[in-house]
Amino acid sequence: MPFMPAKEYKTEAKPIWCPGCGDFAVLAAMYNSFSELDIDPTKTVIVSGIGCSSRLPVFIKSYGFHTVHGRTLPVATGVKMANPELTVIVTGGDGDAFAIGGGHIPHAARRNVDITYIVMDNFIYGLTKGQTSPTTGSQSGLGHGFKLTTTSPHGQYEDPLNPMAMMLVYGASFVARGYSSKPKQLTQLYNAAIRHRGFSFIQVLSPCVVFNKTYDEIDAAIIPLEGQHDPTDFKAAMNLALDTQTEHLGIIYQNEKPTLDDRIESILAKSNPEKRAGDLKKIFASYK
Amino acid sequence: MNEILEQTPVAPLEAPVAPLDATQGGMDEKIVNNVIIRIAGDGGEGVRTTGEFLGIVLGRLGLEIFKTESLPAEIKGGPSMFQLRAGETKPKSQGSYLDILVCFNDEVYQIHKADLKPNGVLIYDSDCQVDDTNENALKFEVPFTDIAKKEAGGARAKNMVALGAIAGLLHVDTDVVDHLIHQKFDRKGEKIVEANLLGLRLGREAVSHMTGEVPFRIERRASKEGLIMGGNDAVALGAIAAGIGVFAGYPITPASTILEKLAALMPRFGGKVIQAEDEIASLGMVLGASYAGLKAATSTSGPGVSLMIEEIGLASMAEIPCVIFDAQRGGPSTGLPTKQEQSDLNLAIYGGHGDAPRIVLAPANIQDCFDMTIEAFNLSEMCQMPTLFLTDFYLANAGELIPEPDLDSYEIINRARPTAEQLQNYKRFELTETGVSPMAKPFDDATFYIATGLEHNERGNPDISPAAHRKMSDKRHQKLQVAVDYAERKGTFARHYGDANSDIGFLTWGSTEGAMQEAIDLAAQQGLSASQLHVLLMNPLPERAIREFLQNKKTVVVAELNYTGQFAQRLRAALNIPVDSFTKCTGQPFTPYELLQQIMFLHGWDTDKSDPVLSQVARVQHQRQVPAPMPGHDGQDEAMAGAVAVSRI
């Protein structure tokens, strides 16, 4: 018997997304995952940035922190440091994650902060109405979607970045890809990512129906990973990530290593209990 | 708040200049335990070691020390200096002109020569091209480099040769110096100890024939109780005393040692420290940690605050307590990383888009760095607002003796938390009388809410309606009054000095307090009155204290270290009061001399009248005194003269 049925995680606020937006499925899968994992909303914090997808915390019962553009990972790191017993989930879009927030990703990954980072990737800036994002497909044939955006009216001449390969190289300990049109698998990926101790990254292909409708393109590119892939094999994972013609869906890579909390706790444990009681007077004495 | 904390007695009017008879006094009449020494050399020449060791020795002899440093921006090389002012009572500032100047090379001699009193003591290495600037000074050539290289085992011994020479000239007890060497180097082995002791001895011997002429002497006094501490350490320990749980920071001059100190100490208190990837991440982590229920802070300098500005707005909007320590340096941009300036006030008070209220505090001295850090956390927790704490390069690198804090005497305030009843129908941003609404935290409460940078309703849900924006703007700004009320209750956020009846008033903030106080004391000796209100709460302003101070003033001057007179502008804009602005923007602190000059000017003294007195004030009070114009008055120091500006609205 789950702690709460999935629908109980809905808040009174109605999602502001356009009909047909992939983010509805992303949210629904999260309700299901929360229910399946018995997530206690009072012991969970969802941190989001700015963009269509970053409105998500408003629609799901839990503590939430809707921050500024691109700074979700540092804020989530602070939340987790303050209380390691919290379940911390970070949501954002491709612009929030890979453009303005790109500088924080390697550091969250190398620290192996025990948080789950869900990036709803629609290859476009939707909230600001159709500008190029770091994952917008290019004229050279890489990526998905329109090659002409409002900010690349003469053609998208920049190549998109490869989020999966990037995450692997940065040292993320869990890397997966899902698709909003495959909600059951998405729920399973959330479950695995939230259970994973360490920095979990999920790229969710979540098309924008208004400014970059890519359902058909993605439907043609996806191949679910079914048993034949060993997610602990880094080289195999890298090969999948570098296959830019195919969107492999599933857990690409997973490995256990000490989390940031583990590492900080080991430092705290080293200071003996007497010292940890923290006598400021003893410290004052060193200034005499 | 408006009580007179200290009032300087006005000295009886004497002849402004009372030249001492050249024959008066004998060779043994020396100035005891009152000296300003500057040691100048290139980075890596041992300037800092010489100065630090000398400071410790003088402290152990029972003297109070005021320490200042000027560093090159480079790791090694570039001119640097270390200045010590020693007295039997606590020096209020670094002083004006130097009694003793020690120069390790000609480059630094050229930089510092004009700062030596006309009849001061110049000790210089052989390559210095000593010129007329110091024609009346006592000049001693001591071949530090040669002695170190040829006799003391290498150029690195120069610092010990210099320490030996200075200690010798000042009649410092040899045992105290030798004892310190043992303390510092015994664990490194006998060879090292011997090498250092040799350097010391050679330095002493090199000046033994001169000590009789030097007009200063250090004598032992009863040792003073207290802690010798710099501003950054005081901030770090204050944060621990306030109960900090998480600290995130990114290295930057001159704030880095706050991060370093807390990284070393916080685990002992169960606290967590993280070095972030940049300043934006630092404050992001702090906001996350504070949202999750712990007191959290970051430290940086101006460039870092510039980067944090967007998140300061978020903290103000989402009402998240946090403390940002800003050790100011010269700006804008990379500016002068190792120089003194008070130019982040506008950034601290106004930085950011929208109306984002925040608390801004500025400590004046090392004691404040500890006490006011605790108040920074208190105000931030109380008002659920970001608090910026403006120290500066000078405070970060100063060293003072402060009494050991009595930890039980501090009030520690934590954020308002919801009651069980309030949690039943929880409104995170409930409109209350004070604007402050109880702050829940994840995990331990049977409720939840969204903190957001979007305009929101009482429950925290996004709401951009006209009513919501108006009411929530009111709420956020109302909380400033909570800070004002607290400041008035405490009475420690503005300090008076000088003659309260004087119709000349100075308003100061930050580390300029001491130099102003000293200038007021010097003026009082000439029968010139002046009073000072030193403001520590920069936003919201302690308006009542300022208006009361202004009541009997005909002239009010705001003295500060920036180009545009940022505090003066703030006072004009916020309180609509006419103030003059007296600014200095050279990367250096005010000297009491410069401020005394202002007081004289405001009393109507022309240069004919004031210059001789200024010379007298800055002169060595010794039979060798020579009436000579001070640097800066005969055009020698145009840079300084040009940097000080008075503007009137």
Q: What are the tens digits of pLDDT across the range A90-102?
A: 999 999 999 999 9
Q: Is B131 exposed, middle or buried (0-12, 13-18, 19+ CB in 10 A)?
A: exposed
The distance of B307 to chain A (nearest Cα, Å) reads 12
Whether residue B180 is found in the same domain as residue B255: no
- Give me the residue from B265, B274, B280 closest to A283, CB to CB: B265
In a domain, B597, yes or no: yes
Rounded Cα distance, A281 and A279, in Å: 5
Within 10 angstroms of residue B47's Cβ, the number of other Cβ atoms is: 27
Residue B519 tokens, joined: 């200038």
Question: Which residues have a Cβ under 8 Å from the Cβ of B186 and sit 6 or more positions away?
Answer: B193
Instruction: Tell which of B217, B239, B267 closes a domain.
Output: B217
Contact B450 A43 (CB under 8 A): no
Rounded Cα distance, B561 and B342, in Å: 5
Q: Which residues of B touch A67 (CB under 8 A)?
A: 284, 287, 314, 453
Q: What is the DSSP letter of B568?
A: H
In a domain, A83, yes or no: yes
Within 10 angstroms of residue B223's Cβ, the number of other Cβ atoms is: 12
pLDDT score for A278: 73
Residue B567 tokens, joined: 């505090």
Whether residue B194 is found in the same domain as residue B96: yes
Binned at pLDDT 50, 70 and 90, residue B154 comes out as confident
Contact present, B156 and B144 (Cβ < 8 Å): no
In a domain, B243, yes or no: yes
Contact A78 B246 (CB under 8 A): yes
pLDDT at B464 over 50: yes
Contact B287 A281 (CB under 8 A): no
Q: What is the mean pLDDT of residues B402-420?
A: 95
Paired strand residues for B390: B326
In a domain, B8, yes or no: no
Closest Cα to residue B50, out of B122, B115, B103, B117?
B103
Which strands, in side-by-side order, build the sheet including B450-452? Answer: A222-224, A247-254, A174-179, A200-205, A116-121, A87-93, A44-48, A63-66, B450-452
Closest Cα to residue B517, out of B117, B94, B100?
B94
State which residues form the domain around A59: 6-258
Contact present, B306 and B329 (Cβ < 8 Å): no
pLDDT at B388 over 90: yes
pLDDT score for B442: 93
Rounded Cα distance, A287 and B56, in Å: 11
In a domain, A275, yes or no: no
Residue B503 tokens, joined: 């119709």
pLDDT at B265 over 70: yes
Which helix (H) or strand (E) is A218 found in, with range? helix A215-221
Rounded Cα distance, B646 and B649, in Å: 10
Q: What is the mean pLDDT of residues B315-329?
A: 98
Whether residue B169 is found in the same domain as residue B276: no
For every residue of B235-288, DSSP letters joined together read HHHHHHHHT--EEEE---TTTHHHHHHHHHHGGGGT-EEEE-SSHHHHHHHHHH
pLDDT score for B74: 65
Contact present, A258 and A113 (Cβ < 8 Å): no
Contact present, B88 and B34 (Cβ < 8 Å): yes
The beta-strand segments (E) located in B380-454 are: 386-392, 400-402, 450-452
Contact A75 B267 (CB under 8 A): no
Instruction: Tell which of B409, B444, B459 closes a domain.
Output: B409
Stretch among B261-265, B341-345, B394-398, B636-640 having the lowest mean pLDDT: B636-640
Q: Which residues of A touch B265 (CB under 8 A)?
A: 283
Whether residue B148 is found in the same domain as residue B114: yes
State which residues form the domain around B246: 228-409
pLDDT at B632 over 50: no
Length of chain A: 288
B520 φ, ψ to 5°?
A: -65, -40
Contact A104 B227 (CB under 8 A): no
Q: Which residues of A touch B318 (CB under 8 A)?
A: 65
Binned at pLDDT 50, 70 and 90, residue B617 comes out as low
Paired strand residues for A203: A119, A177
Whether residue B582 is found in the same domain as residue B607: yes
Q: Is A38 exposed, middle or buried (0-12, 13-18, 19+ CB in 10 A)?
A: exposed
Instruction: Tell which of B409, B424, B447 closes a domain.
Output: B409
Rounded Cα distance, A186 and A183, in Å: 5
In a domain, B466, yes or no: no
Whether residue B202 is found in the same domain as residue B232: no
Within 10 angstroms of residue B467's Cβ, the number of other Cβ atoms is: 9
Closest Cα to residue B377, out of B368, B390, B367, B387?
B387
Scanning B267-296 for CB atoms below 8 A from A yields 267-270, 272, 274, 276-278, 280-294, 296
ipTM comes to: 0.97
How close are the terminal C-alpha atoms of chain B, in Å?
28
pLDDT digits (tens, 9 = 90+) for A18-75: 999 999 999 999 999 999 999 999 999 999 999 999 999 999 999 999 999 999 999 9
In a domain, A160, yes or no: yes
Closest Cα to residue B155, out of B163, B165, B164, B144?
B144
Whether residue B190 is found in the same domain as residue B42: yes
Question: Percentage of residues in chain A with pLDDT exceeding 70?
Answer: 97
Binned at pLDDT 50, 70 and 90, residue B153 comes out as confident
Contact present, A50 and A209 (Cβ < 8 Å): no
In a domain, A269, yes or no: no
In a domain, A284, yes or no: no
The distance of B293 to chain A (nearest Cα, Å) reads 7
Contact B240 A287 (CB under 8 A): no
Q: Tell me if chain B has a CB within 8 Å of the CB of A110.
A: no
Domain total in chain B: 3
Q: Which residues of B touch A278 (CB under 8 A)?
A: 240, 268-270
- CATH of residue A135's domain is 3.40.50.970
Contact A74 B314 (CB under 8 A): no
Contact present, B254 and B94 (Cβ < 8 Å): no
Which residue of A14, A54, A81 to mutate against B (max B Cβ within 10 Å)?
A81
pLDDT score for B638: 39
Domain total in chain A: 1
Residue of A nearest to B441 (CA): A63
pLDDT score for B639: 37
Q: What is the mean pLDDT of residues B347-367?
A: 98
For every residue of B210-248, DSSP letters joined together read TTTT--EE----PPPPSEEE-HHHHHHHHHHHHT--EEE
pLDDT score for B14: 32
Whether residue B119 is found in the same domain as residue B190: yes
In a domain, B432, yes or no: no
In a domain, A72, yes or no: yes
The distance of A81 to chain B (nearest Cα, Å) reads 7
Q: Considering just the CA atoms, what is the radius of gyration of chain A in Å?
A: 20
In a domain, B569, yes or no: yes
Higher pLDDT among residues B255 and A139, named by residue? B255
- CATH of residue B598's domain is 3.40.50.920
Q: Are strands B296-300 and B246-249 parallel, antiparallel or unpaired?
A: parallel
Higher pLDDT among residues B637 and B81, named by residue? B81
Contact present, B104 and B156 (Cβ < 8 Å): no
Whether residue B152 is found in the same domain as residue B255: no
Stretch among A95-99, A105-109, B417-421 having the lowest mean pLDDT: B417-421
Within 10 angstroms of residue A126's Cβ, the number of other Cβ atoms is: 28
pLDDT digits (tens, 9 = 90+) for A115-147: 999 999 999 999 999 999 999 999 888 888 767
pLDDT digits (tens, 9 = 90+) for B38-61: 999 987 888 999 999 999 999 999
Contact present, B16 and B612 (Cβ < 8 Å): yes
In a domain, A266, yes or no: no
Scanning B369-408 for CB atoms below 8 A from A yields 404-405, 407
- CATH of residue B125's domain is 3.40.920.10
pLDDT score for B45: 86
In a domain, B168, yes or no: yes
- CATH of residue B405's domain is 3.40.50.970
Closest Cα to residue B303, out of B354, B347, B270?
B347
Residue B317 tokens, joined: 């909007």
Rounded Cα distance, A187 and A39, in Å: 13
Contact present, B79 and B42 (Cβ < 8 Å): yes
Rounded Cα distance, B249 and B258, in Å: 9
Paired strand residues for B61: none
- Give me the residue from B293, B447, B454 closest to A66, CB to CB: B454
pLDDT at B624 over 70: no
Residue B134 tokens, joined: 């110091």
Rounded Cα distance, A53 and A249, in Å: 20
Contact present, A205 and A180 (Cβ < 8 Å): yes
Contacts 24+ apart (CB under 8 A), B451-457: B451/A64, B451/A65, B451/A66, B451/B291, B451/B318, B451/B319, B451/B320, B452/A58, B452/A64, B452/A65, B452/A66, B452/B317, B452/B318, B453/A66, B453/A67, B453/A68, B453/B313, B453/B314, B453/B317, B453/B318, B454/A66, B455/B317, B456/B429, B457/B429
Q: Which residues of A touch B248 (CB under 8 A)?
A: 74, 78
pLDDT score for A30: 97
Residue B228 tokens, joined: 């010798």
Binned at pLDDT 50, 70 and 90, residue B437 comes out as very high
pLDDT digits (tens, 9 = 90+) for B191-245: 999 999 999 999 999 999 888 888 899 999 998 888 989 999 999 999 999 999 9
Contact A270 B280 (CB under 8 A): no
Binned at pLDDT 50, 70 and 90, residue B72 comes out as confident
Rounded Cα distance, B230 and B67, in Å: 9
Q: With H, G, I as helix, E, B as strand and everything else as coil, classify residue A134.
A: coil
pLDDT at B10 over 50: no
Contact B226 A288 (CB under 8 A): yes
Whether residue B265 is found in the same domain as residue B187: no
For residue A12, is it left (φ>0), alpha (ψ between -120 and 50) or beta? alpha
In a domain, A168, yes or no: yes
In a domain, B434, yes or no: no
Question: Which residues have a Cβ under 8 Å from the Cβ of B534 and sit 6 or more positions away?
Answer: B364, B494, B495, B496, B497, B507, B508, B509, B513, B516
Contact B452 A66 (CB under 8 A): yes
Q: Which residues of A touch B245 (CB under 8 A)?
A: 82
Question: Percentage of residues in chain B with pLDDT exceeding 90?
Answer: 77
- Give me the residue from B288, B446, B450 closest to A75, CB to CB: B288
Whether residue B117 is found in the same domain as residue B232: no
CA dihedral over B401, B402, B403, B408, signed as positive or negative: negative
Whether residue B275 is found in the same domain as residue B382: yes
Contact present, A66 and B449 (Cβ < 8 Å): no
